[in-house]
Structure 1
């Protein structure tokens, strides 16, 4: 057990950042404002916990209001005691009778739960004076599972089975520790935002290659599919045959259009097509996966909870799991979904609404402690200057963070 730290008061902050020159734009979100609904935990020591949920500006204050309501469940608790049975705490917060009607387990309330939960994990790691990845990797399997709410998952994964998955991976953990020396490979999302000109995309690709990136992503979903095909061919031609290229439609297409455009985009041999249609339409993804095979689907950025992830994993239509710890109910639910994904044999490649700050820890845990394949992690640089300890990239690889906590501390807040 680490330092004894009492959570005296918890509160929210509405923090918003305007992006410049088309950065962050996609087929649906054309003028985004990157925003964090922050949960801060003030304690009886000179240590704070900081949690994040990600939004696109308008409505961020509503998430903050929900945070300020939910924190009543954790105020006055000692952090190590709180985390010893956090799965039950998370369930109590998620099922708060005054808020559950607004979801359940999705939307504003779920984002607030993410921020509160992430603040607790950050403080827990700081209390133990280690980075989050090390805290999680060193915890016994039973202790990890006690932080999870596995309700509604029992038909596919019980607590005993979750412990078993972690125990089995622990027997070969040392074989995967080498990643702590190399770092975790990244891929560059910022080369191909939707509103970027073709010339800017081409220039960004060359810069990304010079920085050591061998994988990158282009935003598609144009009103005229010919634009998508032309730009995809531009990326392939500029990056070269050996580059890994992903395409992201951000839910723009209905099913017939997705089948049509994905069939045309096959020509550039994309690694995946991301969010091709509405995230709630599991049946459409099943049909699309069948129609465009062997082209693979990646999704999860807008899937809000473990139950819908369970259904996607059961459907066979999810080839890459993009669960995001600032979109679902925080680190706790992320781990539950990651364990379930391991059982189904589906790799986890997170979406990084946190700009990779938290997920650089979680992918190390996924690989070392769960046994997931280390593929790569999305890299978006636009908010680096606002973090006290921003992610560090060298030759296309995330450097392993060393500061205690989950790297969520923001400057001037």
Structure 2
């Protein structure tokens, strides 16, 4: 092995359970997740040269330890690899993780194992960006279309988009690329806020936050619904009174309704002119979403979903069945960038807008890169598209996302914006971090070691 190869050898995969006590303020609360503690399984992949790549998967508190264990169980496939050998044949390596002959039994390509794979894959992309000294959005934009396609596993989706069709779409996306890069660097990419709409917030807090974000230039707002119809009517009215009807409102039920219940409930909210209803029913119910989409079309209400969509195959079915009009990829729910790119390609072929989900630890930091790549190199437009922005936990990242005038600013630092500050890790690692010690001592949380 040459000295260069030796430097690029992966010597360790570390994973930490990082949790934030967001349930204390009802931050992140919705009809389904009433007391979330925003958390992540945080992976560090180290090369023999000392360079590190960081990746993560967003979790909700309890259960993070299970994802951490899954990363440990898969790490034998990563340690000892020469990292450029992975990038040269990334789709094959990706499949070696997702189709590990014994581990796949507890997936396959869904749930805990897929969340763990996303954290590993995200760390590898962060490392690739750092090796080339490029932010990941720029790395993706600069990849030749054939090379970009070599990272994607097309198994199970060729009846929706073939590799040749994908190549054609990417080649079409080359025209006008430089102008779009300049536009992105000058203006950024539009976003909406969910921060004023958490279900556990009192009216006064919603009013105060809605006004705050309005003053910051936001024109698109999302509110959580689904627990009590009269409360939802009141909350939608409250928001419309502040933002008016010339701005955009979306609503999100986080999977709590039956199909018919979703249709009837949304008819009552139709006077508030919501652009979309997000996750109206089970995230796996393709035909249920299609039924809701068809029933709500006369009311001008679209269906959005995808943050809990477990893999590219389910996305394929949602897209083919016209069960969603807004496709919401999540940077950690499916198997990292490699698989997410395939969803963007299917959505592009079928003419469906992608609006990423980003309400969680590090999700805003990651999805900005993906949507910026789509704007520059695939769809070529941000028309009718927005990235979610939730104003939480950004202070724990070395290179947090930057918002100006309700636009994500293009990241300039190398990597995937996923490196956490050492002091944040030591404070919030569960259960031994200093912040958790303090919370246990105050009796605010139960110490799991006792």
Q: TM class by shorter-chain length?
A: over 0.9
Give the one of 139, 146, 158 matched to 2:143.
139
Larger radius of gyration: 2
Give the one of 299, 318, 333 matched to 1:327.
333
For residue 191 of structure 1, what is the aligned residue in structure 2? 196
Give the one of 296, 309, 321 matched to 2:302.
296
For residue 111 of structure 1, what is the aligned residue in structure 2? 115
Instruction: State the distance in 2 between where 1:9 and 1:262 align.
Output: 50
Contact 1:245 1:270 in 2 (8 A): yes
For residue 11 of structure 1, what is the aligned residue in structure 2? 14
Contact 2:42 2:119 in 1 (8 A): yes
Instruction: State the distance in 2 between where 1:9 and 1:23 align.
Output: 34
For residue 371 of structure 2, what is the aligned residue in structure 1? 363
For residue 245 of structure 1, what is the aligned residue in structure 2? 249
Instruction: State the distance in 2 between where 1:63 and 1:45 align.
Output: 28
1:116 is paired with a residue of what secondary structure?
A: helix
The 5-angstrom pairing of residues 80-159 of structure 1 reads 80-159=84-163
Q: CA deviation at 1:326?
A: 0.7
Q: CA deviation at 1:81?
A: 2.2
Instruction: State the distance in 1 between where 2:93 and 2:44 align.
Output: 18
Whether 2:280 is the aligned partner of 1:284: answer no
Whether 2:75 is the aligned partner of 1:71: answer yes
Contact 2:90 2:150 in 1 (8 A): yes
1:47-91 Cα deviation digits (max 9, x unpaired): 210011111011101111111121222222222221111111111
Instruction: State the distance in 2 between where 1:39 and 1:67 align.
Output: 8
In terms of mean alpha carbon deviation, does 13-22 or 139-148 score higher?
13-22
Whether 2:414 is the aligned partner of 1:404: answer yes
For residue 433 of structure 2, what is the aligned residue in structure 1? none
Contact 2:330 2:363 in 1 (8 A): no
Give the one of 52, 55, 60 matched to 1:51.
55
In terms of mean alpha carbon deviation, does 113-122 or 345-354 score higher?
345-354
1:355-412 Cα deviation digits (max 9, x unpaired): 3001111111011011253221111111111111111111211111111000000011
Instruction: State the distance in 2 between where 1:286 and 1:292 align.
Output: 10
Contact 2:180 2:380 in 1 (8 A): no
Contact 2:331 2:363 in 1 (8 A): no
2:92 is paired with a residue of what secondary structure?
A: helix
Residues 233/288 of structure 1: CA separation in 2 closer, same or farther (3 Å cut): same
Report the RMSD for the aligned CA atoms in angstroms.
1.4
Instruction: State the distance in 2 between where 1:77 and 1:265 align.
Output: 54
Contact 1:325 1:333 in 2 (8 A): no
Instruction: State the distance in 1 between where 2:105 and 2:82 align.
Output: 29
For residue 203 of structure 1, what is the aligned residue in structure 2? 208
Instruction: State the distance in 2 between where 1:257 and 1:308 align.
Output: 23
Instruction: State the distance in 1 between where 2:127 and 2:68 align.
Output: 19
Instruction: State the distance in 2 between where 1:175 and 1:343 align.
Output: 23
In terms of mean alpha carbon deviation, does 403-412 or 172-181 score higher?
172-181
- What are the ranges of 5 or more consecutive residues in structure 1 without an aligned counterpart? none
Q: CA deviation at 1:246?
A: 0.8
For residue 212 of structure 1, what is the aligned residue in structure 2? 217
Contact 1:74 1:82 in 2 (8 A): no
1:309-343 Cα deviation digits (max 9, x unpaired): 00000001210000112111111111111111101
1:170 is paired with a residue of what secondary structure?
A: coil
Instruction: State the distance in 1 between where 2:118 and 2:363 align.
Output: 15
Structure 1 segments of 4 or more deviating over 4 A? none
Instruction: State the distance in 2 between where 1:73 and 1:372 align.
Output: 37
- What are the ranges of 5 or more consecutive residues in structure 2 without an aligned counterpart? 426-450
In terms of mean alpha carbon deviation, does 4-13 or 287-296 score higher?
4-13
Instruction: State the distance in 2 between where 1:311 and 1:247 align.
Output: 23
2:70 is paired with a residue of what secondary structure?
A: helix
Residues 405/382 of structure 1: CA separation in 2 closer, same or farther (3 Å cut): same
For residue 394 of structure 1, what is the aligned residue in structure 2? 404
Instruction: State the distance in 2 between where 1:256 and 1:32 align.
Output: 28
For residue 39 of structure 1, what is the aligned residue in structure 2? 43
Instruction: State the distance in 1 between where 2:106 and 2:306 align.
Output: 21
Q: CA deviation at 1:153?
A: 0.6
TM-score (norm. length: structure 1): 0.97
